[in-house]
Every structure is written in structure tokens, then in C-alpha cells.
Amino acid sequence: MAENPPLMVLCEHEGIDKSFDCRVETVGLELDILGEPVHFQINVADRYARLSEMVPFARALSSKLAKIVSDRLSAGGKSVLCRKCCTACCNYLVPLSIPEVFRLRQEVLAMPAEQGKSVMQSCLCAAKKILDERPEDFDINESTQTKNQTQISRLSRWYAGLRLPCPFLSNNMCVSYEQRPIACREHMVTGSAIFCDTRYSMPNGDRESNHVVQMPVSVLECLAELTAELEQSNTESIMLPLALPWAQENLERSGRMWPAVMMVEHFIKIVKAAASKNSAVAAASN
């Protein structure tokens, strides 16, 4: 049985490749991010698709937006500290949207056997520690929609205290960098690298003030919103170390499908709404 054609091919300033075995629609995305136009053209195969198939586009969009923000900071005399082999944030709490969780499982299964086994083992060990040491009054798998900012900050501080390295970290390098979570792509800091160390205590107790860069659009949140609307559920996120066991327990859910064109168009609508809202908030605060 032939494999389904790719859900989409991301194109910027290039011709559109329509080498599919079925009808293809081209969907456009235009955003104004910090005064800079962002254009994407996405080829979408006219078929049904799973949530995991939205992830490559979401990753590419997130990386594009992060580059725009980084370039703007550089032009303003600020430098982003994030560099190759810097693992200061690799024991932070990393949330994954549901589509990312299902995609991650597919990518780990596609790794060379020994590498995939090592990653899986690291995830299971980290998951055990998380579940053994979680606060008694905190439901880790509770919908993010029911958590307020105070609860999220408390959860982040608790997780940082576990000092758990990312399961995908090996010799100070990410073994899955090109497929890294959107949360990692969207996380950038300026100032001093010492603020990234979870062992460092800021005087006001707020590690994230003054150095974490705010993104004009959180693609992670947009992907979570898309999932919630398609599934008619609350928005959710899963901790990275818990992602693989969680995906294994939700295989039936990973197989749900929707019309691909509808999914892409709806995701773009969510992204554009978020960009417009954040732009209006930024303008009002200036």
C-alpha cells in the first residue's frame, strides 16, 4: 500500500512543488511580525491527515519567527545568549503540544536502534522520578487551561529543582536538534548566562524577569489551541520526559484524522489572530 503524500511542503520565495499523487491546494500565510512581513506558501494534499503531520510546518514557522526576533534584538544592540553546546536550559520544564508528542514518538521510533533505546530509557527514568516526587496536590497531566500563572511558575520551580537533564541531551549536544520542541525554538534569553542556571537565585525570586524574550506569537500555544478546537477539548501540554509513555497510552487518539486543508487553514487563522492580538497589546503598552 502506497504511503500518503506529504501533508505540506513549506515554500518561501520559491516555486511550488506539486509532485503529489493527489490534488494539492496552495494555502498562503502572511503576517506582520515586528514590522517585517512573513510570507509562507504551503502545499496541502487534499486528503485526511493526523495532528502529528502539522508539526513540521509549525516548527518551521516557529524557527522563522524566532530568527526575526533575534535579528531585531541584534539590531538594537542586544545579543541572544543561546549558542551551540550551551545546555543551561536543558533541565527546564519543556511543554509539548499534543501533535508534537505524537510526532516525537514517530521520530524516536525512526532513530537508529541504540540511540532510540537510549532516549526511551532516559525518558522512562525521568518520568519515574517526576511521578515519584511530584507535589501531592498537583495533577501533572491536568489541562493547562485550568492552571493559572502562579501554579505554572510553581510547577516550573519544582521541576527545575529535580535537576533532570533533557532525555535528548548527549555530550552537551541535542541528538534531535532539527526536531527539537517548539518550546525550545521559542525560548531565547538576553543579559547574563548566569540567569539560565537553575541553581542561581535572583534577588526578587523571579528568574524570568528582564531576560526571557517574549515572542510575538507562541506557535506552541497556537498548535495547542488547534488541537483543542479539533478535538473539542481543553488545551493540553505534556512534559517532555512524560511524552513517550503518554503517547504509547494514547495510540488510538494519535490516529484521529481531519481534512488536511481545513486543518492548515484553521491553524493559520489561529496564528493570525494571535499575532493581531499580541500586536495590539504591544501597541497599547507603548
pLDDT digit string, tens, across residues 225-237? 999 999 999 999 9
Let me know if 187 is exposed, middle or buried by CB neighbors in 10 A (0-12, 13-18, 19+). Answer: middle
The answer, yes or no, to whether residue 4 has pLDDT greater than 50, is yes
- Rounded to whole angstroms, the Cα distance separating 216 from 252 reads 34
pTM listed for this prediction: 0.85
Angle between the 260-285 and 219-231 helix axes, to the nearest 10 degrees? 130
Q: Quick one: which of 186, 179, 251, 188 has its CA closest to 221?
A: 186
Question: What is the Cα–Cα distance from 2 to 8, expressed in whole angstroms?
Answer: 17
**Structure confidence at residue 16 (pLDDT):** 42
Mind listing the pLDDT tens digit for each residue in 243-272? 999 999 999 999 999 999 999 999 999 999
pLDDT digits (tens, 9 = 90+) for 92-138: 889 999 999 999 999 999 999 999 999 999 998 888 888 888 877 66
Question: For residue 165, which phi and psi values (nearest 5 degrees)?
Answer: -70, 155
Query: How many Å from the N-terminal Cα to the C-terminal Cα in the chain?
Result: 57
Q: CB count, 10 Å around CB of 52? A: 21
Check: CB of residue 98 under 8 Å from CB of residue 236.
yes
Q: How far is residue 242's CA from residue 9's CA, in Å, rounded to a whole number?
A: 30
pLDDT at 203 over 70: no
pLDDT at residue 46, as a whole number? 86
Instruction: Provide the 8-state DSSP code for 29.
Output: E
In DSSP notation, 35-67 reads TEEEEEEEEEESSEE-GGGGHHHHHHHHHHHHH
Output 170 or 285, whichever has higher pLDDT.
170
Grid cell, residue 60, equals 518551521
Q: Compute how many other C-beta atoms are within 10 angstroms of the C-beta atom of residue 42.
A: 23
